[in-house]
Amino acid sequence: MTSTEVAADGFFTAVLAHPDRPALIGPGELGFGERRRVTFGELRARANQVSNGLRDLGLVRGDVVAAMVRNDSTYFELVLATGQIGLYLVPINTHLAPAEAAYIVRDSDAKVLVAHADLAAELGPLVQHRFAVAGEAPGWSSYEGFGGSAEDPADRSSGVIMGYTSGTTGRPRGVKRPLPDLTPERLAAMTTGLSRMSGLVSGEGTHLVTSPLYHAAPGSYAMSALHLGHTVVVHERFDAEATLRDIERYRVTSSHMVPTHFHRMLRLPAAVRERYDLSSLRTLVHAGAPCPVEVKRQMIEWVGPILWEYLGATEGMVSTVGSPEWLARPGTVGRPFPGFVVKLLDDTGAEVPVGEAGTIYFGGSGTFEYHNDPDKTRAGRAHGLPTVGDIGRFDEDGYLYLLDRRTDLILSGGVNIYSAEIEQHLITHPSVSDVAVIGVPDPEWGQSVLAMVQPADPAMVGEDLADELAAYCKDGLASYKRPRRYEFRSDFPRSAAGKLLRRELRDEYGR
């Protein structure tokens, strides 16, 4: 059996074919520009140590491990370790405020929490078993010193990730799927479908990570590449020129990005862009925010017709499209995944005719429930299909076009931000009588956050109040959720029933 054939069954089979090949490169520098490397064999041994260590703590199938870790080998170790002993892994955004992260840890019923040491120091004793990465934190054990035997754990069974996504109320909810009755190898092979559809093949290849791994899309795509036997090059954060440099340096064959990354690379001077050889690239996948047609067209002209786009959410996948199809139908997000069901329904639950707008309902990624929220689970379904509230239309050939995202959702740099969450924080400030938060066009981020405030005292309007509100948000909200701008109003457009007409505000500000 060749290494290409073995890699088709996932990491734990691929490692048998090439234990000494690099599985991970980066993110740290070792001097002379050399980046840290972890071989497939070393990663397997460490994943086994963590699996057996979790078993030694008493964790059993169905238990939960939470991880608030940055882009390094820890993420991959935890996904592989929990994924072979039937546990749920909950990745947590490292930019969340401590109270926001604490809510997710408690709501998920996590029994173990792993966090980088500087983040751990702010989290406190949320669970009994706490492990700090890359440093010390009072009351936390060392993650590097944690683990059991490096041998394969007994009674292996598949575990999955339970990602947290915010609803329209801004309250995060875990998207929980049943644990599959499959071997870890079989599940790994099944989860590489999107990667294979977009051109990745089993065997040798190099995947570049430029986005936070705690986000569902870049994390799952990186794991998929690893399961196909590819080396994964990990960046701590996106840097446009560093991305081009490492594509050339490591002969990168694939990457997953968001339109903001495209925008930043295209802004580089032509002399810089032409300095690097990108000919190794075979697949460039993007999602996470609407991509301006002209930006995507320029990317295809630059790197070739290798861009793949998909529409999806933590709840499931909807559609995908390659470059040739997109060039023939600019703006489409493609056709439904093979074997998937996508329906566009009106407010009565009836399917809308071709060409008309409807709410997108989809199915095919398996069943799920929102953890600890049966009401939300029931409310977001019709005809047995879930929705996240996106609005779209089909053309006569079955290609889907996204018309609007979730009603109150702000998409900034590929990150979902919910207006209600920011409004709920600002309304508690004593100087705020009423508030509305929307996303406004931003040439770099796609959208940025605008807070419109009706002050309790009209005489307070001015820069001092804006600065005070900015400081208030700094204490209670993650950095990416904080408004970039504050404007003051005497009132807001509302319906006869008193409901805020947010669409009128968006129209007013040119969304």
> If you ran DSSP here, which 8-state letter would residue 459 be given?
G
411, amino acid identity: L
Q: Does the domain at residues 3-237 carry the CATH identifier 3.30.750.24?
A: no
Q: What is the DSSP string of 53-103?
A: HHHHTT--TT-EEEEE--SSHHHHHHHHHHHTBT-EEEE--TTS-HHHHHH
Contact partners, residue 175, CB within 8 Å, separation at least 6 = 162, 163, 164, 165, 314, 315, 368, 370, 371
- The whole-angstrom separation of Cα 99 and Cα 92 is 12
- The whole-angstrom separation of Cα 379 and Cα 359 is 14
Note the pLDDT of residue 275. 97
- 506 in helix, strand or coil? helix
Q: Give the CATH number of domain 409-508; options: 3.30.300.30, 3.40.50.300, 3.40.50.1370, 3.90.1150.10.
A: 3.30.300.30
Q: Is the peptide bond before 292 cis (omega within 30 degrees of 0)?
A: no
Is the distance from CB of 287 to CB of 263 less than 8 angstroms? Answer: no
Please state, in angstroms and as integers, the Cα–Cα distance from residue 119 to each residue in 134, 173, 285, 393, 477, following that order.
11, 22, 31, 43, 15
- The structure tokens 């339109």 sit at 259
**Strands laid side by side in the 369-370 sheet:** 164-166, 172-176, 369-370
- The structure tokens 């997953």 sit at 256
Alpha helices of 199-357 — where are they, by DSSP H? 216-227, 240-249, 259-267, 270-273, 293-303, 323-328
**Number of helices (H), then strands (E), in the chain:** 18, 28
How far from chain centre, in Å, is Cα 264?
Answer: 19
Whole-number CA gyration radius for the chain: 23
- 507 in helix, strand or coil? helix
Each of the 511 residues of the chain gets a pLDDT tens digit; together they read: 333 443 457 898 888 889 999 999 988 664 445 689 999 999 999 999 999 999 999 999 999 999 999 999 999 999 999 999 999 999 999 989 899 999 999 999 999 999 999 999 999 899 999 999 999 999 999 999 999 999 999 999 999 999 998 644 457 899 999 999 999 998 988 888 888 888 888 888 999 999 999 999 999 999 999 999 999 999 999 999 999 999 999 999 999 998 889 988 998 999 999 999 999 999 999 987 778 788 899 999 999 999 999 999 889 999 999 999 999 999 999 999 888 999 999 989 999 999 998 899 999 878 899 999 998 898 889 888 999 888 889 999 999 998 766 666 788 888 878 777 788 789 889 899 888 999 988 888 888 999 999 998 888 888 999 999 999 999 889 999 999 999 999 888 864 434 577 778 888 876 5
Note the pLDDT of residue 442. 86
Note the pLDDT of residue 7. 43
Domains of the chain, residue spans: 3-237, 331-404, 409-508
- 185 in helix, strand or coil? helix
- The whole-angstrom separation of Cα 322 and Cα 310 is 9
Nearest to 437 by CA among 423, 426, 424, 448: 423
Model pTM? 0.83
Is the distance from CB of 92 to CB of 104 less than 8 angstroms? Answer: yes
331-404 adopts what CATH topology?
Luciferase; domain 3 (2.30.38)
- The whole-angstrom separation of Cα 153 and Cα 468 is 54
